[in-house]
Amino acid sequence: MSSVLIVDDEPNIRRMVGALLASEGYEVRDAAEGTVGLARVAESCPDVVLLDLMIPGELDGLATLARLRETVPDVPVIMMSGKAGLSDAVKATKLGAFNFLEKPLSPEGVLLALASALELRRVRREARTLREDLGLAGEMIGTSPAMTHVREMIARIAPTDARVLITGDSGTGKELVAAAIHFGSARRDRPFVRVNCAAIPRDLVESEMFGHEKGAFTGATDRRIGRFELAHTGTLFLDEVGDLGLEAQAKLLRAIEAQEIERVGGGKPIRVDVRIVSATNRDLARAVADGAFREDLFFRLNVIPVEVPALQERPGDIPELVAHFSAMHHARTGRRAPKWTPAALSLLASYRWPGNVRELANIVERLAILHEGGDVDERHVRSVINMDGGIRRAEEPLPDAFAPDQSLTDTLDAHERILIVRALSAAGGNIAEASRRLKTDRANLYRRMRRLGIPVGDE
């Protein structure tokens, strides 16, 4: 349940808006002045604050807004006023207000502003999580020449606004490189918005990227703010950009060139200031030659290319990565980390790692759970990885179609789940390779995995 704090000196506003939000499922608290509102935030941080501009007392609306930006910078603040002029709105925006609502308030306007603010809140939380995922020491792991080159590239390009195309196999850490570029830039305190292009149904790409107006198409019951708008003044990360269809590529190209977008069903251009960072595990140059990817879009995205090496190209980094993932597991669970013998580390370094760093992280976590506080030796490593292939798994038999009380739907779902898990296992967790083995596209595989409750490692 999302929580909202209403700070307004008018009891009727607090009562009516509070009742509206409570009926929509929000948890609501209120305060009559700025100092009390700040105390409420200190007690329990809300997801969104609705703040009146003209509240009396020691702190007016703008002063309260300034304090909120200092204490809870990730919480969106929506300003409200019936007497504000343009200069007040400009001041509030400069201080970091998310939106400005004029009184008398309309229920539709309040609910729409809250929905958009909550989406921004979610994006900011994702950005904070990505910042933490960069590593316990706040930097990428590995001192091999290949990783040293990647870090040097990040240091050079992050302070610029140049568009970057990150390439590399699935599981190599392309998303962490994108996050490192964002957090090393002047946009570090602004949104970092990720779009998994491979997981969006083709008929919803435009709505996801640019948003839509209420009633724009069947099922569009509310206005939706697109990823470009959410990333305004920040960074938009287009993950698996090579999976976009040609129609979506054309619309993306126009948005990049014009620096403006239009919501589906809307006729008003919206200016956006975003830095574009893209990633793909496909060979886009070959895709251009095959006519599957637009050459002009490729040139726009590939201003600065950064290639992330596969794990088998940097075996010297494996001891550091194992220690890192062990420490992360200990910090997350409190379980004692195991001790890794030189023989175990040597065996891990000789493995081909089809799933790259993501696969290594999963193996380390599995062995850390199985051998908490003990020693992990070569025998234990061989028990969970197949040196001639992928991770060792017990082969689950296909379900009996004639089992009693087994519906057709349940039987088909069970068959599909096992086939997908087998393909993922054979592909070392690589979604692209698993989709090729199953002769389907990645977007379809993502949808099926979500429906069947199979964890999607790329998200």
Would you give the DSSP letter of residue 264?
B
Q: How far does CA 27 lie from the centroid of its chain?
A: 25
pLDDT for the residue 458: 42
pLDDT for the residue 131: 57
Q: Which tokens belong to 77?
A: 């603040």
> Between the CA atoms of 173, 174, 176 and 178, what dihedral angle is there, to the nearest 10 degrees?
170
Strand order in the sheet with 235-239: 192-196, 235-239, 275-280, 164-167, 304-307
Residue 53, classified by CB atoms within 10 Å of its CB into exposed (0-12), middle (13-18) or buried (19+), is buried
Between helices 174-183 and 107-133, what is the axis angle to 10°? 110
Q: Residue 371 contacts by C-beta under 8 Å, 6 or more apart in sequence?
A: 338, 380
- In b/e form, how buried is each residue of 258-294, taking b as 16+ CB within 10 angstroms? eeebbbbebeeebebebbbbbbbbbebeebbeeeebb
Q: DSSP for 207-263?
A: HHHHEE-TTSSTT--S-EE-HHHHTTTSEEEEETGGGS-HHHHHHHHHHHHHTEE--
Rg (CA), the chain: 25
pLDDT for the residue 191: 86
Amino acid at 136: L
Mean pLDDT by 10 residues, the chain (459 residues): 92 94 94 94 93 90 92 91 75 85 90 88 70 52 91 95 94 90 88 88 86 77 83 93 92 93 85 95 92 95 95 92 90 89 92 88 91 91 75 49 61 82 76 83 84 66
pLDDT for the residue 389: 53
Element (H, E) at 26: none
Residue 390, classified by CB atoms within 10 Å of its CB into exposed (0-12), middle (13-18) or buried (19+), is buried
pLDDT for the residue 394: 44
Would you give the DSSP letter of residue 202?
G
pTM for the model stands at 0.64
pLDDT for the residue 39: 94
Q: Regarding beta strands 48-52 and 77-81, do their DSSP bridges make them parallel or antiparallel, or are they unpaired?
A: parallel
pLDDT for the residue 18: 95
pLDDT for the residue 311: 92
pLDDT for the residue 459: 41
